[in-house]
A and B are shown apart, each in its own frame.
Chain A
Amino acid sequence: MHKLGRGHRDKVQQFMAITGSSEKAAVQALKASDWHLEGAFDIFYSQPHIRTVTDSRHLEELYNRYKDPYVDMILVDGITLLCNDLQVDPQDIVMLVVSWHMKAATMCEFSRQEFIGGLQYLGIDTIEKFRDKLSYMRSELKDEQKFREIYNFAFGWAKEKGQKSLALDTAIGMWQLLFAERHWPLVDHWCQFLQVRHNKAISRDTWSQLLEFAKTVDLQLSNYDEEGAWPYLIDEFVEYLTENGIVQRHQN
C-alpha cells in the first residue's frame, strides 16, 4: 500500500468498499484498468469467484429488514434488531468482528454495500447461517494476525467521521473491550494514565503502536527500550508507571 500515491490509495479503498474484495484483488483490477474505477469493476465482476454461492434475493430481504425507513443505511435501530435476531448483545465484541468483515466505515451503521457485500463474502444469506457463523468469528479473535487487523480496523471504525483522532472515552471503551479478549494486565493503568495526564484524543499511530507495546514489552518493562521509537505517550506511560511505583524498573 505504501508504494501507492495518495490518489491511487483512495481508489483502492473505494473499490474494496464497493466490491468487498481484498486489497490485492483491488490493486490488480485497478492496475489492469489503468486506475479507472469503472473499468476495474468490469474486470473484477467478469472474473469467476470461488465462494459459497449466496442467494441475492435473501440478502436483499435481510437488508430491508434492518434498513432504516428514511435512509438507505442500517442505523442504530436496525442494528439493535439484528443483534436481537442473532441473540447477541450489541456491545458484544463479535459485532466488531462482523463490522470488520463488512469493512464498515463507522460504528453503529452499515451501508448497503457493506452489509450485503460483507455477508456475501462470509457466505451468509440467512439469520440462521449468520448465527452459526458467530462462534467462528469469535474464534478469529484468537488468531494473532487477525486480532491485529481487527484491532487496527477498530480505530478507523470507532472514530467520528471526518476526525483524524479517536476521542479518549471511545478509545478507552474500545481498549477495555479488546484487551478483554487478549489479556494485557496494564490496560487499566494505561487508561487511568491517559485520563490523568493526557486527556486528549488518541492518534492512529499511538493506537497501533500500543498493541505492539502490549505484545512485545514485558510487565516488568525490562525489555523496554528508551531508544525504541515508541510514541511519546507510551514513553510518558512508562515514566508514569515507574514514578508511581507500579513497576520497579531496573535501569540497565
Chain B
Amino acid sequence: MSAQKKRTFKIEAFKHRVELDPKYAERTWKVLEHAIHEIYNHNASGLSFEELYRNAYNMVLHKYGEKLYSGLVITMSGHLKEIAKSIEDSQGGLFLEELDRKWGDHNKALQMIRDILMYMDRTFVPGNHKTPVHELGLNLWRDNIIRSGKIQTRLLDTLLDLIHRERTGEVINRSLMRNITKMLMDLGSSVYQEDFEKPFLEVSASFYSGESQQLIECCDCGEYLRKAERRLTEETERVSHYLDVKSEVKITSVVEGEMIANHMQRLVHMENSGLVNMLVDDRYEDLSRMYNLFRRVPDGLSTVRDVMTSHLRETGKQLVSDPERLKDPVDFVQHLLDEKDKYDKIISKAFNNDKSFQNALNSSFEYFINLNNRSPEFISLYVDDKLRKGLKGVSEEDVEVVLDKVMMLFRYLQEKDVFEKYYKQHLAKRLLSGKTASDDAERSMIVKLKTECGYQFTSKLEGMFTDMKTSVDTMQGFYANQYSETGDGPTLAVQVLTTGSWPTQPSAPCNLPAEILGICDKFRTYYLGTHTGRRLTWQTNMGTADIKATFGKGQKHELNVSTYQMCILMLFNSADQLTYREIEQATEIPAPDLKRCLQSLACVKGKNVLRKEPMSKDIAEDDAFYFNDKFTSKFIKVKIGTVAAQKESEPEKQETRQRVEEDRKPQIEAAIVRIMKSRRVLDHNTIVTEVTSQLQSRFLPNPVVIKKRIESLIEREFLERDKTDRKLYRYLA
C-alpha cells in the first residue's frame, strides 16, 4: 500500500472579478422598476420579495447603487405626479378623501419598496449621504403632492373651511381630518406648522376676534364668559381629536387673547353685569369663571383684583362715613364683620383662596377702617355689647368665633392704643356693674389681645380682674370681722380698685348720706388696718345702691340707683321738697352729673320717683323736686341707674383723644432715645422712619409730633444738632 497525500480543501477567491455587465445592471433595474410600478398599481401580490431583494442586493453589491437610487427617485416621482393629478381632479368634498386614500396607498407602497431595498438603505445610503428610502418617500410626497401648486392652497383652504364649519355648528368628518393632519405631522413638524398650523392660528384669531366683538355687544358679562369658556373647551377638544397635541397651548392662547385679554376692561366694568355686580350679588359661579378665565391671560388677575380692591375701598369708605350707620356703633361693626365674611366667602368659593386677593382684602379693610377715627371706640363697644348680653346662650365655640372675627378687625386698626383706652373704660363699667355675661368669654378676649399685642397691652386689664376677685375676699373678711351690728344697717359691697389699672376718672367727691357713713367708715378702718400705707378714696361717680322705698299708698319698691342718685333720694327722708340749688349744696355733686341724675329720677316715664316743678325736661336752678307719692310700677324692683356703655358725646370724645395724644408723647420720646442711644448719629428722616416702625404696632405717629419731641429732647439736652450738618442729630450721653 502506497501512502497517499491527504488533500486539504482550500477555498480561494475568484481570481478574476465577477463584473456585473452593465446590461445586466440595466436588466436588473428594469425588474425592480417594474416591481415599483406594480406596487403602485396595487399588483404587488404577484411579486416575489426574495427575488426583488436579491436583485437590489446585487445592484448595490456591484456598485450600481447610484443607478438604483436615482432610478428609485425618478420612478417614484413619476408615480407621485400621476397621483397628484388624480387628487387635483377630484371634486369638492372628495378631495380630502382622495388625498387620504392616496396617502395610505403611498405609505403601503413605500414600506414594501423599503423592504425590498433594505440592503441599499443600510449600506449604500449612509455611505453616500443619501436620504434613506422612507424619508425619501415622505419628502417626495411632500414636494410632489402637498407642495404642488394646485394642491397646496386647496388643501389648506379645505382644512380651514372644515374647521370653520365645525366652529359654526356643523358636524365634520373628524377621523378624516385626523388622518390628514397626521399626514402633515409625519411629513415633518415644519410642514405641519408652515402648511397648516400657522395659517390655522391666524384664521382662528380673526374668527375669534370677530366673534368676540359680536358677543360683547349683545351679551352680558356672565353670558360672555360662559361662551368664552365653552369655546376654550371646544378648541381643546378639537386638538385632542384631530390636531397635534402641541397645537393646544397655541390655539388656547389665541382664544384667550382674542376673547378675554382684548376685552378685559370692558368685561370687568360692564354695567349691570360686570365684576362689581357679581361681587355685590355674590354670584360665585360667575366670579369663579371669571377668575379661571382671567388667570390665563397676562394682567388678568391683577385687573380683577384691582377692580375688587377699588370697589371694596369705595363701599368701605361709604360705610364708615355714613352718618346713619354711625348712630349705632354695634350695628356699624356688625356691618363691617358681615362685609368681611362676604368677601372671605367670595375669595374661598370663587377665587380659589388666592393669597393675593386675600392681601388685597386686608389692605382695603385696613384703609377704610382707619378713615373713621372712631373705629377703635366702636369696635370696643361691639365687644362690650357681645360680652354683656349678646352671648348668653351661645355656645363656647361660637363665642370664640365671634371674638376671633372681631380680632381680625382689631388687627386692621392703626390706632390700637385708642382701642385699649376705650376697652379699659368699657371693661371697667362691665365689671363694676356686674354686667359681664361670661367670665370665660372675657378671659378669652384678653388672651387674644395678649397674643396679638403682647403682655404690656393686657397687664392692666388683668389687674382689673384681679381687683374684682380680691374685693370679694376682702368683703368676706370684712363681714366675718363685724361681730354684732349688721342687723338693720345697710349692707355694703366694696370693690377696691388699684389706681394704675383702672381708667382714671377724676373722682368728684360728694357728700354721702349719714345712713351709710357709719358702715363706710368701718370698712375704711378695717381695710387700712390690714393694708397699711394705702390710701382709699370713694369713687362716688361709679357706685350703685339698692334702696327700699315706700310710696303713697304703701306700695313698696326696691330701687336700683347710682350712688349719686342715692345721695339725692336720701335727702327726701328729711324734706318733702327741695330745690335744685338745695340738692346741689347738700350733696356737692358736680352740676352736669347732678342734672343728669335728676333728669333720670324725675323726667323718665315709669321711673319718676321724684316729681319736678315745672314739668319741663330741662333742669333749671330754681326747679323744685318732690318725692313722688303717686309713683307706680308693675315691677317690685325698679332700675334707675345709669345704663350700659355708650358711645361718647363730642366733648368726651375730644377729651379721650387728647389723653391719647398726651400718652403718645412719652412713647415717642422713649423710642427716639432708644434709637439715638444705639445709633448715636442719625439724620432726621431716618429717625422718623425708625420711630414709626417701632411704634406701628400701637399707633401711627405723626411726623410733626415726632419733630416736636425731637426739639423737646434738644431743649432738655438729650440730643443736639451736628455742628456741620444741621440735618443730623447726635445723642448726648
- Interface of A toward B, CB cutoff 8 Å: 2, 5-6, 164-165, 203-206, 209, 212, 227-229, 231-232, 235
Q: How far, in Å, is B680 (CB) from chain A's closest CB? A: 11
* Distance between Cα atoms of A6 and B717 in the complex (Å): 10
* Distance between Cα atoms of A76 and B707 in the complex (Å): 40
B contact face: mostly helix, strand, loop, or mixed: mixed
* Distance between Cα atoms of A228 and B715 in the complex (Å): 19
- Chain B's closest residue to A227 (CB) is B685
Q: Chain B residues with Cβ under 8 A from A205's Cβ?
A: 711, 714-715, 721
A205-B711, A232-B711 as given contacts; A2 in contact with B704, CB under 8 Å: no
Complex interface bits, B693-715 against A, C-beta within 8 A gives 1, otherwise 0? 00000000000100110010011
Instruction: List 8 A-B pairs, Cβ < 8 Å.
Output: A164-B715, A165-B715, A227-B685, A229-B684, A229-B726, A229-B729, A231-B707, A232-B707
Q: Chain B residues with Cβ under 8 A from A165's Cβ?
A: 715
From B684, B711, B727, B730, name the one whose CB has the most chain A CB atoms within 10 angstroms.
B711
* Distance between Cα atoms of A20 and B665 in the complex (Å): 42
Report if B723 contacts A (CB, 8 A).
Answer: yes
The number of A-B residue pairs with CB atoms under 8 Å apart is: 40
Q: Chain B residues with Cβ under 8 A from A235's Cβ?
A: 704, 707
Report if B732 contacts A (CB, 8 A).
Answer: yes
* Distance between Cα atoms of A205 and B732 in the complex (Å): 15
A203-B711, A227-B684 as given contacts; A209 in contact with B723, CB under 8 Å: no
Q: How far, in Å, is A222 (CB) from chain B's closest CB? A: 19
Q: Chain B residues with Cβ under 8 A from A228's Cβ?
A: 684, 727
Q: Chain A residues with Cβ under 8 A from B711's Cβ?
A: 203, 205-206, 231-232
Apart from the given pairs A227-B684, A229-B685, A235-B707, 15 other A-B contacts in the complex at a CB distance below 8 Å: A2-B732, A164-B715, A203-B711, A203-B714, A203-B715, A204-B714, A205-B714, A209-B721, A209-B726, A212-B726, A229-B683, A229-B684, A231-B711, A232-B711, A235-B704
* Distance between Cα atoms of A152 and B683 in the complex (Å): 23
Closest 4 CB pairs between A and B? Answer: A229-B684, A229-B727, A205-B714, A232-B707
* Distance between Cα atoms of A188 and B711 in the complex (Å): 24
Whether the pair A232, B730 counts as a contact (CB closer than 8 A) is no
- Interface of B toward A, CB cutoff 8 Å: 683-685, 704, 707-708, 711, 714-715, 717, 720-721, 723, 726-727, 729-730, 732-733
Q: How far, in Å, is A234 (CB) from chain B's closest CB? A: 10
Whether the pair B733, A5 counts as a contact (CB closer than 8 A) is yes
- Chain B's closest residue to A209 (CB) is B726
Q: Chain B residues with Cβ under 8 A from A204's Cβ?
A: 714-715
Q: How far, in Å, is B5 (CB) from chain A's closest CB? A: 122
Q: Chain B residues with Cβ under 8 A from A206's Cβ?
A: 711
* Distance between Cα atoms of A209 and B720 in the complex (Å): 12
* Distance between Cα atoms of A2 and B711 in the complex (Å): 17
Whether the pair B726, A2 counts as a contact (CB closer than 8 A) is no
Q: How far, in Å, is B714 (CB) from chain A's closest CB? A: 5
Q: Chain B residues with Cβ under 8 A from A209's Cβ?
A: 721, 726
* Distance between Cα atoms of A209 and B717 in the complex (Å): 16
Q: How far, in Å, is B371 (CB) from chain A's closest CB? A: 24
* Distance between Cα atoms of A164 and B713 in the complex (Å): 13
- Chain A's closest residue to B704 (CB) is A232
- Chain A's closest residue to B707 (CB) is A232
* Distance between Cα atoms of A212 and B723 in the complex (Å): 12
Whether the pair B720, A2 counts as a contact (CB closer than 8 A) is yes
* Distance between Cα atoms of A6 and B733 in the complex (Å): 8
* Distance between Cα atoms of A229 and B717 in the complex (Å): 17
- Chain B's closest residue to A165 (CB) is B715
From A5, A206, A231, name the one whose CB has the most chain B CB atoms within 10 angstroms.
A231
A209-B726, A227-B685 as given contacts; A232 in contact with B708, CB under 8 Å: yes
* Distance between Cα atoms of A165 and B715 in the complex (Å): 9
Q: Chain B residues with Cβ under 8 A from A2's Cβ?
A: 720, 723, 730, 732
- Chain A's closest residue to B733 (CB) is A5
* Distance between Cα atoms of A176 and B712 in the complex (Å): 26
* Distance between Cα atoms of A203 and B704 in the complex (Å): 17
- Chain B's closest residue to A1 (CB) is B723
Q: How far, in Å, is B679 (CB) from chain A's closest CB? A: 16
Q: How far, in Å, is B614 (CB) from chain A's closest CB? A: 46
- Chain B's closest residue to A236 (CB) is B704
* Distance between Cα atoms of A204 and B685 in the complex (Å): 22
Q: How far, in Å, is B129 (CB) from chain A's closest CB? A: 74
Q: Chain B residues with Cβ under 8 A from A203's Cβ?
A: 711, 714-715
Q: How far, in Å, is A155 (CB) from chain B's closest CB? A: 12
Q: Chain B residues with Cβ under 8 A from A229's Cβ?
A: 683-685, 707, 726-727, 729
Q: Chain B residues with Cβ under 8 A from A212's Cβ?
A: 726
* Distance between Cα atoms of A223 and B134 in the complex (Å): 83
* Distance between Cα atoms of A2 and B724 in the complex (Å): 12
- Chain B's closest residue to A225 (CB) is B727
- Chain A's closest residue to B727 (CB) is A229
Q: Chain A residues with Cβ under 8 A from B707's Cβ?
A: 229, 231-232, 235
- Chain A's closest residue to B687 (CB) is A229
* Distance between Cα atoms of A52 and B727 in the complex (Å): 42
* Distance between Cα atoms of A231 and B684 in the complex (Å): 11
* Distance between Cα atoms of A135 and B732 in the complex (Å): 40
Q: Chain A residues with Cβ under 8 A from B704's Cβ?
A: 232, 235
- Chain B's closest residue to A212 (CB) is B726
* Distance between Cα atoms of A227 and B685 in the complex (Å): 7
- Chain A's closest residue to B710 (CB) is A229
Q: How far, in Å, is A99 (CB) from chain B's closest CB? A: 23
* Distance between Cα atoms of A205 and B730 in the complex (Å): 14
Q: Chain B residues with Cβ under 8 A from A5's Cβ?
A: 733
* Distance between Cα atoms of A190 and B720 in the complex (Å): 24
* Distance between Cα atoms of A206 and B726 in the complex (Å): 12
Q: Chain A residues with Cβ under 8 A from B684's Cβ?
A: 227-229
* Distance between Cα atoms of A5 and B684 in the complex (Å): 24
* Distance between Cα atoms of A2 and B721 in the complex (Å): 10
* Distance between Cα atoms of A107 and B714 in the complex (Å): 24
- Chain A's closest residue to B715 (CB) is A203
* Distance between Cα atoms of A98 and B711 in the complex (Å): 31
Q: Chain A residues with Cβ under 8 A from B721's Cβ?
A: 205, 209
Q: How far, in Å, is B563 (CB) from chain A's closest CB? A: 42
* Distance between Cα atoms of A235 and B720 in the complex (Å): 19
* Distance between Cα atoms of A55 and B685 in the complex (Å): 56
* Distance between Cα atoms of A63 and B213 in the complex (Å): 103
* Distance between Cα atoms of A235 and B706 in the complex (Å): 13
Q: How far, in Å, is A240 (CB) from chain B's closest CB? A: 15
Q: How far, in Å, is A47 (CB) from chain B's closest CB? A: 28
* Distance between Cα atoms of A165 and B729 in the complex (Å): 20
* Distance between Cα atoms of A204 and B717 in the complex (Å): 11
Q: Chain A residues with Cβ under 8 A from B733's Cβ?
A: 5
Q: Chain A residues with Cβ under 8 A from B727's Cβ?
A: 228-229
* Distance between Cα atoms of A77 and B729 in the complex (Å): 43
Q: Chain B residues with Cβ under 8 A from A227's Cβ?
A: 684-685
Q: Chain A residues with Cβ under 8 A from B723's Cβ?
A: 2
* Distance between Cα atoms of A212 and B684 in the complex (Å): 16
* Distance between Cα atoms of A164 and B684 in the complex (Å): 24
From A227, A229, A231, name the one whose CB has the most chain B CB atoms within 10 angstroms.
A229
Q: How far, in Å, is B52 (CB) from chain A's closest CB? A: 93
Q: How far, in Å, is B723 (CB) from chain A's closest CB? A: 7
* Distance between Cα atoms of A184 and B684 in the complex (Å): 27
Q: How far, in Å, is B348 (CB) from chain A's closest CB? A: 44
Q: How far, in Å, is B83 (CB) from chain A's closest CB? A: 79
* Distance between Cα atoms of A6 and B720 in the complex (Å): 13
Q: Chain A residues with Cβ under 8 A from B720's Cβ?
A: 2
* Distance between Cα atoms of A2 and B732 in the complex (Å): 8
Q: Chain A residues with Cβ under 8 A from B714's Cβ?
A: 203-205
Q: How far, in Å, is A230 (CB) from chain B's closest CB? A: 9
Q: How far, in Å, is A206 (CB) from chain B's closest CB? A: 7
Q: How far, in Å, is B404 (CB) from chain A's closest CB? A: 42
- Chain A's closest residue to B685 (CB) is A227
* Distance between Cα atoms of A204 and B721 in the complex (Å): 12
